[in-house]
Amino acid sequence: MIPEIEEFLAWLRRKSPKSSTAIHYGSDLKLFFAWLNKSYSEVKVQDIDAFIEHSLSEGHAIATVNRRLCALSSFYHFIEIQSDEAPRNPVIPRRHFIRRGERLPRDIEDPILEGLFAVINNVRDRAMFLLMLRCGLRVGEVRNLSLSDLYLEPSFGSLPRLWLHGKGNKQRVVYLSAQALAALQNWLLQRPVTGDDAVFINRFGRRLSVTGIQDRLAGYCQKARIWITCHQFRHTFGRHLTEARTPVTSIQRSLGHSWLKSTEVYLHISDPQVQEDYQTAMQEVISRLPLAESAS
């Protein structure tokens, strides 16, 4: 790998030790320079144009392309800080970043969830995925969870909770439902003693990686003949809270959203009040205009 990229990734790791940004950006930069086969000092604006066209033609998601552009832009910004003779940043935001329309989160239908958990018989894995589904944890938050982050025996009147190291190295507290708590305690009773403080460890006694967790889910999906992602558990958690008429500000804090607008998208996929209003309206409309059924 290019030495300057190694320095950039080391800087990212120092800046946010618990973040996975360095891993993703490293992969993105490696992919870009392998495709272009040029020195970083030779990259032109037109090369970025061509890379975007190539990525879209290969079927990569807009979010993925934009993340790779962020990786490149951040790398060149780092080079600019390090050197007075740095090349011009070839990524021009207004020209290169692709606009996306507002997209609703894709949750998991409840019958599919039942089918998935019916095939998850591993105590550790069941605890991991229930924390995502019942507490809204991201896969990185599950990976980063340490024994010192667990508050499972709180004082009277308080709920068991987790202290999370979330996206952007932000911290938040989430509460545990009885089901999630039972699954976690079952795993802790079986968890091998190891020098690693991680809650979820692999067969070598070391902290599970994000890829390792995703691979476990993929294996269960194959058994259940479905396909979902870890992040869809989080979206489903948001939907479940919305359907239970939880105040949107409480949902915001549970999910760790900085902006209320990020949380309000869950009202669009399942708003009990809108559903009731729609059903009432349609009953009245149909009573006034009962269209005759067509003869078969």
Query: What's the pLDDT at 192?
Result: 94
pLDDT for 104 equals: 67
Q: Cα–Cα distances in Å, from 86 out to 40, 89, 268?
A: 10, 9, 46
pLDDT at 274: 80
Alpha helix stretches (DSSP H) within the chain:
3-15, 21-36, 45-57, 62-82, 93-96, 110-117, 123-135, 139-144, 178-190, 210-224, 230-243, 248-255, 260-269, 272-288
pLDDT the model gives residue 198 = 95
Spans of the chain, pLDDT less than 70 = 1, 101-104, 168, 292-296
* pLDDT value for 260: 83
Instruction: Walk me through the domains of the chain, giving residue ranges and CATH numbers.
Output: 3-96 (1.10.150.130), 110-271 (1.10.443.10)
CA 296/CA 294 separation, integer angstroms? 6
What is the tens place of the pLDDT at every residue in 30-51?
A: 999 999 999 999 999 999 999 9
User: The whole model's pTM is what?
Assistant: 0.69
Each residue of 101-126: pLDDT tens digit?
Answer: 666 678 899 999 999 999 999 999 99
